[in-house]
Chains A and B, each alone.
Chain A
Amino acid sequence: MSSSTASRWGLRTLGLGYLALLLLAPLVLIFFKTFEDGIGAPIDAITSTEGLHALKLTLIMVAIAVPINTIFGIGCALLLVRHKWKGNAAIDAVINLPFAISPVVIGLSLFLLYGADGWFGPALSEAGIKILFSIPGMVLASVFVSLPFVVRETVPVLQEIGTDQEQAASTLGANAWQTFWRITLPAIRWGVAYGVVLTTARVLGEFGAVTIVSGQISGQTETLPLFVEKQFFNFNTSGAYGASLLLALLALMTLLAMNLLKRKEA
């Protein structure tokens, strides 16, 4: 029954070789670049006013978009799993859309909706609310692209734990909120946490949609990924790499968090 040693080594070589070229090389390069030309220039680039602002803006995006999608995610998951309804399949399908739509199309959609000629544009600008080229628009873009993660990670966990514990709590006198807070939420926490980590990673790294929606105004609507692009096109490669590195380190921390949580979930 055991496969021959030759085929085992063959598969190993193919698989690991491919990974080495495609994944490991980039990973090693990222680590390498950290220490290559000294930390000096990259730090300078980041700590420039624009760099710092880009960092701050990115973090603001995360701080707003992630909680919104987390609350929505948990609520939606509860709805989909605990309440059978004919429209659930449709809701499910819409939630999956951000996985398959190009970020540029997402940016365009917001651009059209809230732009000067858009459906909401004129009304909003009259009310003095600025969506495009400003933080609200960027938040909307971030929320759109990172919508599915918390839902998708919570749904299987909810299905897995079943209603037994919740029903037991009911018979012991707990009301809906108490049951949710004390029984359901603790039971699904690792699934939710994992979804939150994925959402955060997505928002941190979002590029295509935010590019279009923000207008990339330096010092105002430039997130860190946009900052990287601008530095690059301004031939300020060390600045680009510096900011890039910061994002990469955040990504690696995300990866670490994902792995630790995966073990908790299992």
Chain B
Amino acid sequence: MGITVEGANKRFGDFQALEDVSISVPDGSLTALLGPSGSGKSTLLRAIAGLEDLDSGRVMINDEDATAKPAQKRGVGFVFQHYAAFKHMTVFENVGFGLKIRKWKKPEISDRVHELLRLVQLDGLAGRFPSQLSGGQRQRMALARALAVQPQVLLLDEPFGALDAKVRKDLRTWLRHLHEEMHVTTIFVTHDQEEAMDVAEQLVVMNNGQVEQSGSADDLYENPANEFVMSFVGEVNRLGDSFVRPHDMEVVLDADARTQEGMVQRIVALGFEIRVEFVLGDGTEVWAQLTRNELQRLELREGQIAYLRPVQAKSFNGSSPSQDHGASTPRGSADEGDAEKPAAV
């Protein structure tokens, strides 16, 4: 059950949007496709939905080969970044659209629409038009619309991308609760790693049309397969060939064999965490994440010299991130959980 994509390839003119992409999404799970612009995540999502045709490869939905099926027949609910609201229809008509074309009877449509509107907390706005709703409301309507026809799979394409930060956070939480209630297999696309880590059970990191790694948020954070994944999921400092997380960067006042000298450039307080930016002897800029207590204890000031010691570092010799034309080394795994190359400390 669930969703499986095998060997998907898609080209737009000269641009290879998807290159030999395979992923597996367990039934009932909440998965995020995470990556920068142009990484192919939206294309992959649309291919699963049937809104794009693949050049080669297979899409399996609940153990059935859906590759040849048009979007209409795949039983997927799709939510668009810019809502794709039917602007000439009321909220009620929008949500009831799928039911109407399935020839449900009026009272049944009404019951179901109102049930869904209650679920997305838009009850009472049934007679409004999308142009009279805020962005957040429109997106909730779009969700209700997609859920109305009881899809096997729910796909969301950067659903909160067009919304304000605060609304984004609220809807994020709300989506998670919704999933806990409904347990529909859900895939959503985002470029925001915090969002992905907050909401999803499984993350699939993509870059340049290929899957870099997939796994839980913890897996990807602790055991990134390559430099790209490490710097995309979480913050990272680069020291030569090594990569160090800012909270793994210990700051001490005395030098020893393992430390490097750095001068404090700037101290920024971001709520509970403090960000201390250093410049090293060779000009490299790094930053360390300290708690307020640590900062007070060290009594750091701008211009001061201190010493940095990585508690844990990773290097990725030979496991370079995907290139535009695809390296021959196999990329991050198709199944959840295993990182391609264990981190070297």
Q: Name B53-74 residues within 8 Å CB distance of A.
A: 70-71
A: which residues have CB within 8 A of B? Answer: 1
Residues of A with C-beta under 8 A to B269: none
Instruction: Produce 1/0 per residue, B21-55, CB < 8 A to A.
Output: 00000000000000000000000000000110000
Residues of B with C-beta under 8 A to A1: 50-51, 70-71
Q: Provide the bound-state CA to CA distance between A1 and B71, in Å.
A: 7
Q: Is the interface of A mostly helix, strand, loop or mixed?
A: loop
Q: Provide the bound-state CA to CA distance between A1 and B70, in Å.
A: 7
**4 contacting pairs across A/B (C-beta < 8 A):** A1-B50, A1-B51, A1-B70, A1-B71
CB closest residue in chain B, given A2:
B53
Say how far A42's CB is from chain B's closest CB, in angstroms.
Answer: 50
Q: Is the interface of B mostly helix, strand, loop or mixed?
A: loop
Residues of A with C-beta under 8 A to B51: 1
Q: Name B68-88 residues within 8 Å CB distance of A.
A: 70-71
CB contacts between A and B, total, < 8 Å: 4
Residues of A with C-beta under 8 A to B50: 1
Say how far B54's CB is from chain A's closest CB, in angstroms.
Answer: 14
Q: Provide the bound-state CA to CA distance between A245 and B50, in Å.
A: 54
CB closest residue in chain A, given B51:
A1
Instruction: Produce 1/0 per residue, B252-290, CB < 8 A to A.
Output: 000000000000000000000000000000000000000
Instruction: Produce 1/0 per residue, B149-182, CB < 8 A to A.
Output: 0000000000000000000000000000000000
Q: Provide the bound-state CA to CA distance between A1 and B74, in Å.
A: 12
Q: Provide the bound-state CA to CA distance between A145 and B59, in Å.
A: 62
Residues of A with C-beta under 8 A to B70: 1
CB closest residue in chain A, given B49:
A1
Say how far A37's CB is from chain B's closest CB, in angstroms.
Answer: 50
Q: Provide the bound-state CA to CA distance between A84 and B50, in Å.
A: 50
Q: Provide the bound-state CA to CA distance between A251 and B50, in Å.
A: 48
Q: Provide the bound-state CA to CA distance between A134 and B71, in Å.
A: 69
Q: Provide the bound-state CA to CA distance between A69 and B50, in Å.
A: 54
Q: Provide the bound-state CA to CA distance between A1 and B51, in Å.
A: 7
CB closest residue in chain A, given B70:
A1
Say how far A260's CB is from chain B's closest CB, in angstroms.
Answer: 28
Say how far B51's CB is from chain A's closest CB, in angstroms.
Answer: 6
Q: Provide the bound-state CA to CA distance between A51 and B94, in Å.
A: 65
Say how far A87's CB is from chain B's closest CB, in angstroms.
Answer: 29
Q: Provide the bound-state CA to CA distance between A1 and B50, in Å.
A: 8
Q: Provide the bound-state CA to CA distance between A1 and B47, in Å.
A: 12
Instruction: Produce 1/0 per residue, B133-154, CB < 8 A to A.
Output: 0000000000000000000000
Say how far A169's CB is from chain B's closest CB, in angstroms.
Answer: 33
Q: Provide the bound-state CA to CA distance between A1 and B78, in Å.
A: 14
Q: Provide the bound-state CA to CA distance between A1 and B84, in Å.
A: 15
Say how far A7's CB is from chain B's closest CB, in angstroms.
Answer: 15
Residues of A with C-beta under 8 A to B71: 1
Q: Provide the bound-state CA to CA distance between A79 and B71, in Å.
A: 51
Say how far A2's CB is from chain B's closest CB, in angstroms.
Answer: 8
